[in-house]
Amino acid sequence: MSQDPLPNPPAASDLPTPSIEKKRSWLPSLIWIIPIVAALVGITLVVKTVLGRGPTIEISFSTAEGLVAGKTKVKYKEVEIGSVTAITLAEDRSHIVATVQLQKEAKSFIADDTRFWVIRPRLEAAGVSGLGTLLSGAYIRADAGVSGDTTHEFVGLEAPPIVTRDTSGRQFVLHAGNIGSLDVGSPLYFRRIKVGQVAAYALDPDGKGVTLRVFVNTPYEKFVGANTRFWHASGIDVEASASGFKVRTQSLATVVMGGIAMQAPDDAPGAEAAENASFKLAEDETTALKAPDGPSQTLLLNFNQSLRGLTPGAAVDFRGVVIGEVKSIGVEFDRVERRFNMPVLIEVYPARLGRNFDSEQADPVATQQRRLQQLINRGLRAQLRTGNLLSGQLYVALDFFPKAPPADLKKTSDPIELPTVPNGLDQLQTQVSDILTKINKVPFEELSADLRKTLATLDTTLTSAEQLVKKLNNDVAPEMTAAMRDVRKTINTANETLSSAGRTLSEDAPLQQDLRQTLREVNRAAASIKVLTDYLERHPESLLRGKPEEKK
């Protein structure tokens, strides 16, 4: 197939001349206004966010329970000051790290003494807290620091602090032998009103005690003075002593979670105590409020009897006044006497015996020994006595026993040994034992044989008596019955006779008048006879010679 040849191109002169127009000036289209405005707004927001952003910090917690990145807030006095942006696990997997973006206004919270903790529902000794987070979720609370040093890494608290820096009040230090049932948050009471709480506690470096920090809220700190006493008010204080049973408690809260009470003796607290002043925490109210005892003296008592019922802490009594307490009891073998002694260590306070007795001398040790020797010479002895019949509790009584055997103070022993005497119950037991020993020596078998013989003889006698009674009933009883009938008749006759005699002897009866006249005659005759007898007593010869004639 043949192809048509291509046409020849037109000449340049044949082409039309193009028209040239000038370019118009550039004007933006209205459609670009919206993106530009949006960009400007975004840039403004970014700049504002960057300028308003505070520092970024990291807080370590043992667990991320309740924390959610992008949701959990950081608050101070319920005002939001930041939020958690990320939560990561530490490399050693021992804790988690929460990255917190603080606001610009919260830049002061990077002080290195700032504290952070998680608010979540908790059931503790101080009560239930964080119930509001059941709906709103957990959040991190901050306690602003006051240090001039700053940091961006913090270790969060696992439990909320009892006292924050914005709480008004004052802290005090208490020293105790043990913490008892106290815990952080345990209440502090003044006249059974809660005025504070336990803020912290720690074991002493030497391990011999516990140091507690208590916080007293405003305005109650003014009631803490130099003479204020603190004591355990935990649970129920039951005291069983020689005086009986005593039960004391502060409130129902102290029964459940323990507590501390404070008060000044005689309501005289003294000068107001300064911040962090130290006090001693007593075991009970009685110990706390008692008067100062002054220096103590340790004495040793050796008893030769059972110590059942005597416990450390038992009272040492002098005629009803407690002057000390028992520190320890034990048992010890005496190689010389070849017997067991029961040593009792007591601590007494001479100041409780009065100022005159506890007067200070140049040599206190020599004075005490000389004074004790004088008292021992007068009969001072230690004796165990029963203080409570229900519990069988014993106490140590110091008293004078003038009839006690002489004894000397053993100055070589350390501590000084005070002589003792057995109590009345032990003496009674010894006497009873001696009586029983004597009773055991009585020949009861021989006596029983004689008693059986006597009983046999008595049985024979009773048999004979029974036979005699039967014979009397058969032979004598009828005759006695007839005799009784005669006796009744005689009594009736006598009654009739007496009735007649009564009528005869009445005042208006003639016989009564004649009888009076006769009695007067008899009286005159008796008087004459008396004169005659008196005369015969003086002149018995007149019976033979007759009465001499009177001389004219």
3-state secondary structure labels for all residues of 23-85:
CCCCCCCHHHHHHHHHHHHHHHHHHHHHHHEEEEEEEEECCCCCCCCCCCEEEECCEEEEEEE
pTM, full prediction: 0.52
Q: 134, 140 in Cβ contact below 8 A?
A: no
Classify 384 in phi/psi space as left (phi over 0), alpha (psi -120 to 50) or beta.
Answer: beta
Q: 125, 136 in Cβ contact below 8 A?
A: no
In which band, very low, low, confident or very high, does the pLDDT at 420 lie, cut at 50, 70 and 90?
confident
User: Whose structure tokens read 């979720």?
Assistant: 137
Q: 196, 182 in Cβ contact below 8 A?
A: no
Task: Write down the pLDDT at residue 390.
Answer: 73
Convert 455-477 to b/e letters by CB count within 10 Å (16 or more is b). eeeeeeeeeeeeeeeeeeeeeee
- Select the more confidently predicted residue: 443 or 301: 301
Classify 93 in phi/psi space as left (phi over 0), alpha (psi -120 to 50) or beta.
Answer: left
Token pair for residue 456? 């046999």
CB atoms near residue 59 (< 10 Å): 24
Instruction: Give the burial class of 344: count Cβ atoms within 10 A of its Cβ; 0-12 exposed, 13-18 middle, 19 or more buried.
Output: buried
- Select the more confidently predicted residue: 383 or 470: 383
Q: Under 8 Å CB-to-CB from 372, ≥6 apart: which residues?
A: 380, 409, 416, 418
Beta-bridge mates of residue 399: 381
pLDDT tens sequence across 427-444:
555 566 667 677 777 676
Token pair for residue 15? 């082409």
Task: Write down the pLDDT at residue 14.
Answer: 64
CB atoms near residue 215 (< 10 Å): 19
In which band, very low, low, confident or very high, does the pLDDT at 300 lie, cut at 50, 70 and 90?
confident
Token pair for residue 462? 């009773």
The distance of Cα 243 from the centroid of its chain, to the nearest Å, equals 13
In which band, very low, low, confident or very high, does the pLDDT at 85 lie, cut at 50, 70 and 90?
very high
pLDDT tens sequence across 362-415:
445 556 777 788 888 888 888 888 877 777 788 888 888 888 888 877 666 678
User: Which of 22-26, 214-218, 437-441 comes out lowest in average pLDDT?
Assistant: 22-26
DSSP 225: B
Q: Is residue 545's pLDDT more than 70?
A: no
Task: Write down the pLDDT at residue 10.
Answer: 60
